[in-house]
Amino acid sequence: MTEILRTRALTRSFGGLVALRDIDLDVREGTIHAVIGPNGSGKTTLFNVISGIYRPSSGQVEFLGQNAVGRAPDQLARMGLGRTFQSSRLFGSMSVLETVLVVLHNHGMAWRIGRAERKRAQEIIEFVGLGDVAGVPCTSLPQGQRRLLEIAKVLALEPRLVLLDEPHGGLNHAETARLIDTIRDMHRRGPTVLLIEHEMDVVMQLADRITVLNFGEKLAEGTPAEVQRNDAVVEAYLGSAGETGIAPPPSPAKAAGHLLEVRGLTVRYGDIEAVRGIDLHVEAGEIVSVLGNNGAGKSTTLKAISRLLPAEGEMIFNGENLLARRTEQLAGLGVALVPERRRLFGGMSVLDNLRVGAHGRKGAEVQDLADEALELFPALKRLVGSLASSLSGGEQQMLAIGRALMSRPRLLMLDEPSLGLAPMLVDQVFAKLADINARGTAVLLVEQNARMALAASHRAYVLASGRIVAEGEAAALAADESVKNAYLGITG
Amino acid sequence: MEHARLWGRLAATVVLAAVLAAALPLLVEPYYIHVVDVTLINLVIAIGLNLVLGFGGQISFAQSAFFGIGAYTFGSLEAAGWPAVAAAPAAVLLTSCVGAALGWPALRLRGHYLALATLAFSLIMGELMVDLDMITGGANGMMNIHGIGLARDDAAMLPILLGVAAVGLAGSMIFAASPAGLRARAFRDNAIAAQAAGVNIRALKIGLFVASAAYAGVGGVCYCALLGYISPDVFAWQTTFAYLAMVVVGGLGNNLGPPLGAALYTLVPEWLRFLQEAYFVIFGSVVIVVIAVVPGGMAGLVGWLFGRIGRAIVHSPPGGRPAPEARR
């Protein structure tokens, strides 16, 4: 078998951040090859470099035996390299049929749309199962059909290689099954498939070969069976807790009522139910984590509690109905959020970032709080005058937590605090969470790094497709195979 | 079926132009013939802007400059002794080349930056028209341009300008229905997805600038031929917003848009002339209302009305009362 795509020492950095480092990838003609890895491991960057959207900082890409570096995306597309995007990129003014016709007429001097192309477009649309909606504006399609339209667009290129970026993102079970069938059918028609996927069941069902990325580097490669057995891969997904010495914090004393109580929480994005009627609660002084796959609804749950998303159900914090409050009022109630990707005020100094977090407190008290935060994070002390944007990822995470603590919250919520952090920094951040909790602050944590989160928590909830599939004491869940299943698709 | 629709529209355009050419001189006073002539020149320029902005989604404030380049080139070549049949295509060609030259650096620019760059281009050209007085006649402009010998003969120019505008509109209609038109819309809707679909958006963008410049160049030649003189204030950078208003109020990316917008922009001020300066207030308010209330512009409104009438007829049961769906 020959390689249809080869990369050698492929590296791409953004400023100081190296998103991809020395990637050697060989995709054999006729295979389905999957790229997996945690959030921020460089999967989409890899696709963007291969498909010509980004230029590599160094290294080579060969497609069909020809150098692909420096070629424009449309040139590569016409050579037979098709790709889809993580979120569907629609031609908003077009019908399904027109969308496919664009691809069939992507170059040339024809002054009218050909009869043959019209027929071919119709065939492709029927092949992916959109025959009934050919004339419908593509913006009116539900998510599942949008994904199928992406496949139709790619097929119209008559590609030799198809890159699928999380093709099933946001789909329900039935839609996912339909999509997997379509991908298989497409593959049978000839093209090689390279796919990024978080849902391990999907990868295990489809892939002949898997490459695992972690922090921009190739961590492992092999058949699905080999990758599943690879300890390094299990570590990359489930984290490295165990040798880190994070002790489970002592359980808090039982209080009279729940600090936070959520009942029947439902959140919709358009037609998609991202969170479907979940119940959860946090006691005063407790650390609770919410775990689950990408797209399971973890961050959505946290955003809904922070009132950043419209939601249905009941949310009571300390006797207050949160649904009647706006996001900016939560700090005053004693709820603080450390958002995903930290959202610091990049153009402000470390000290000013902390001051902004102090929510309406007076001068002397702000100074005390800032001192307290810097005491907790000594690494920030020498950086008080530096701009937040100049900090490293780990320092930024510390600052984001410090800023949230400035409002003296009773409940601290964190969205993926370990995202994009090197393992050592992850350990530090979790150790700090234990410190913060020891001072009486309850913590609600959303995390991909399940093993680490479980080690640091009292209790946990596991989400899948917007529902809670497991809950209980963290230690019990850590020993439970169902958590592993939800994460790695390892059965038995 | 799509082709039948295109042919129908082309035929309707030709018939309408012929009817107007025959009927207008009988129906309206000579002064209004002049107003219609000016409207038709504005229409040609607006069609060009609709190609780049309406179909291609690329903001351009360069239209007044292209208009001026076409007019001054034509005037200068005639003054140098060229016959009109040679000077006219040469002027359009030169304007198109300037369009390509502007499109090239504009490849790197999008959105606000492209708007500023094209506006700066209009500013520079406006200054040059005044400052290069050896060629352009400076602030006085050029007098006694022979054109095609019909200068200030509004009645004789009417059928010619109707013909030019009809051909221009037909060109835009054919473009919109063609694969290139589809590619332009794909580029406008989502540039990265268009590239992933294999569309060369660099060539497309330059092509759109060239086309918009060519239409404005034709407008410049027609302006010389109609008036017999030009002065720099007609091509000042401020006037680029007039063309912008025409295509936005008329309806972006819709071939009905430029005719409706050019007509509204040129005719309504005439009707409101009795208000004197106050008409700016009325006209400005109309523009704001159309932009805020009717996102598809007047063309979108017309399409919507026709759609409703069409549905009402289709859904009408024999009794004549509209079915519930038609009332929605």
Nearest CB to A107 within list B2, B178, B198 = B198
Contact pairs from chain A to chain B, CB under 8 Å: 96
Give me A187's structure tokens.
Answer: 């593959």
Q: Is A350 helix (H, G, I), strand (E, B) or coil?
A: helix
Residue A104's pLDDT band, with cuts at 50, 70 and 90, is very high
pLDDT one-digit tens code per residue, A32-44:
999 988 766 888 8
Q: What is the 3-state secondary structure (H, E, C) of chain B?
A: CHHHHHHHHHHHHHHHHHHHHHHHHHHCCHHHHHHHHHHHHHHHHHHHHHHHHHHCCCCCCCHHHHHHHHHHHHHHHHHCCCCHHHHHHHHHHHHHHHHHHHHHHHCCCCHHHHHHHHHHHHHHHHHHHHHCHHHHCHHHCECCCCCCCCCCCHHHHHHHHHHHHHHHHHHHHHHHHCHHHHHHHHHHHCHHHHHHCCCCHHHHHHHHHHHHHHHHHHHHHHHHHHHCCECHHHHCHHHHHHHHHHHHHHCCCCCCHHHHHHHHHHHHHHHCHHHHHHHHHHHHHHHHHHHHHCCCHHHHHHHHHHHHHHHHHHHCCCCCCCCHHHHC
pLDDT confidence band for A51 (50 / 70 / 90): very high
Q: Which of A78-87, A317-326, B144-153, B283-292 has the lowest mean pLDDT?
A: B283-292
DSSP-derived letter for residue A390 is G
Judge whether A476 lies within some domain: yes
A80, A225: one domain: yes
Q: Which of A91, A101, A113 sits opposite B190 (nearest CB)?
A: A91
Q: Are A209 and A324 found together in one domain?
A: no
Domain membership flag for residue B11: yes
Residue B193: closest C-alpha in chain A? A89
pLDDT confidence of residue B324: 37
Cα-based distances in Å from A248 to A71, A236, A472, A478, B269 = 53, 21, 15, 12, 78
Of the residues A188, A208, A238, which one is the last residue of a structural domain? A238
The reported pLDDT for the residue numbered A492 is 33
Q: What is the CATH number of the domain that holds A22?
A: 3.40.50.300
The residue-averaged pLDDT of A116-141 equals 93
| Helix axes of A173-188 and A143-156: crossing angle, nearest 10 degrees | 10
Residue B119 to residue A106: CA distance in whole angstroms? 31
Indicate the pLDDT class of residue A249, thresholds 50, 70 and 90.
Answer: low
**In the predicted structure, residue A398 carries a pLDDT above the cut 70:** yes
pLDDT in tens, A404-449: 888 888 899 998 887 766 666 777 788 888 888 888 899 999 987 7
Q: What's the domain range around B228? A: 2-236
Q: Are residues A16 and A120 in the same domain?
A: yes
Is residue A350 included in any domain, yes or no?
A: yes
Q: What is the ipTM of this complex?
A: 0.88
The number of folded domains in chain B is 1
- Alpha-carbon distance of A74 to A68, in angstroms, equals 12
pLDDT of residue B64: 96
The pLDDT tens digits of the residues spanning A332-352 come to 888 988 887 778 888 888 888
Q: Which element (helix H / strand E) includes A130?
A: none
Residue A110 has pLDDT above 60, yes or no: yes
Distance from CA of A146 to the nearest CA of B (A): 13
With CB atoms and an 8 Å threshold, state whether A113 touches B193. Answer: no
Residue A247 lies in a domain: no
How far away is chain A from the Cα of B297, in angstroms, using its nearest Cα?
15
Query: Is 80 exceeded by the pLDDT of residue B321?
Result: no
**Alpha helix positions (H), A105-210:** 115-127, 143-156, 173-188, 200-206
Percent of chain A residues past pLDDT 90, beyond the cut: 38
Contact A91 B198 (CB under 8 A): no
Question: Across the interface, which of A74, A82, A89 has its CB nearest the CB of B190?
Answer: A89
* pLDDT value, residue A451: 76
For residue B101 the two structure tokens come to 């030259």
Boundary residue ending a domain (A172, A206, A238): A238
State whether A157 and B198 contact (CB < 8 Å).
yes
Tokens of A437: 């909790």
Q: Are residues A288 and A374 in the same domain?
A: yes
On whether residue A255 sits in a domain, the answer given is no
Question: Containing domain of residue A95, as a range?
Answer: 3-238
pLDDT (0 to 100) of residue B314: 62
More confident residue, B32 or B316: B32
**Of A205, A238, A271, which residue constitutes the final position of a domain?**
A238
What confidence score (pLDDT) does residue B327 get?
Answer: 34
Tens digits of per-residue pLDDT, B97-126? Answer: 999 999 988 888 888 899 999 999 999 999
Q: Is the residue at A59 inside a domain?
A: yes
Residue B317 has pLDDT above 60, yes or no: no
- Would residue A166 count as lying in a domain? yes
Check residue A172 and give its pLDDT. Answer: 61
CB-CB neighbors (< 8 A) of A147 in chain B = none
* Contacts with B156 (C-beta within 8 Å, 6 or more apart), sequence order: B150
Alpha-carbon distance A184 to A207, whole Å? 10
Q: How far is B243 from chain A (nearest CA, A)?
A: 23
pLDDT number for residue A485: 64
- Decide if B190 and A92 are in contact by the 8 Å CB cutoff: yes
Q: What is the tens place of the pLDDT at every residue in B160-174? A: 999 999 999 999 999
Radius of gyration of chain A (CA): 24
Report chain B residues touching chain A, CB-CB < 8 A.
2-3, 174, 177-180, 182-183, 185-186, 188-190, 192-202, 253
Chain A interface residues (partner B, CB cutoff 8 A): 51, 53, 72-75, 77-78, 82-83, 85, 89-94, 98, 101-103, 105-108, 110-113, 153, 156-157
> Rounded mean pLDDT of chain A?
85
Read off the pLDDT of residues B249-280 as tens digits, 9 standing for 90 and up: 999 999 999 999 999 888 877 888 787 777 77
Do residue B185 and residue A78 have CB atoms under 8 angstroms apart?
Answer: no
List, for residues A147-183, the tens digit of each pLDDT value.
899 999 999 999 999 999 988 765 666 677 888 999 9
| Among B15-24, B39-48, B54-63, B272-281, the least confident range | B272-281
Counted residue by residue, chain B has a size of: 328
Supply B274's token pair. Answer: 């009795």
Of B2, B183, B192, the CB nearest to A102: B183
The pLDDT of A54-70, averaged and rounded, is 95
Based on the domain organization, do A203 and A162 belong to the same domain?
yes
Answer yes or no: do A320 and A443 share one domain. yes
Q: What distance in Å separates the CA atoms of residue B87 and residue A35, rounded to the nearest whole number?
A: 62
Q: Is the pLDDT of residue A1 over 80?
A: no
Q: Rounded CA gap, B105 and B242, in Å? A: 25
Name the pLDDT band for A7 (thresholds 50, 70, 90). very high
Taking CA–CA distances from B180, the nearest residue in chain A reads A111
Within a domain: B118: yes
**Whether the Cβ atoms of residue A83 and residue A196 lie closer than 8 Å to each other:** no
pTM exceeding 0.80: no
Token pair recorded at residue A382: 């020498």
Flag whether B320 is in a domain: no
The structural domain count of chain A equals: 2
pLDDT band at A241 (very low <50, low <70, confident <90, very high): very low
Considering the domain boundaries, does residue A384 fall inside one?
yes
Per the CB < 8 Å rule, is A94 touching B192? no
* Average pLDDT value over all residues in chain B: 89
The whole-angstrom separation of Cα B36 and Cα B158 is: 8
Work out the number of other CB atoms within 10 angstroms of the CB of residue B3.
11
Q: How far is it, in rounded angstroms, from Cα B228 to Cα A319?
A: 82
Task: For residue B100, give Cα distances in angstroms to A240, A363, B55, B186.
Answer: 58, 60, 18, 21
CA angle A469, A472, A478 (to 5 degrees): 85
Residue B40 lies in a domain: yes
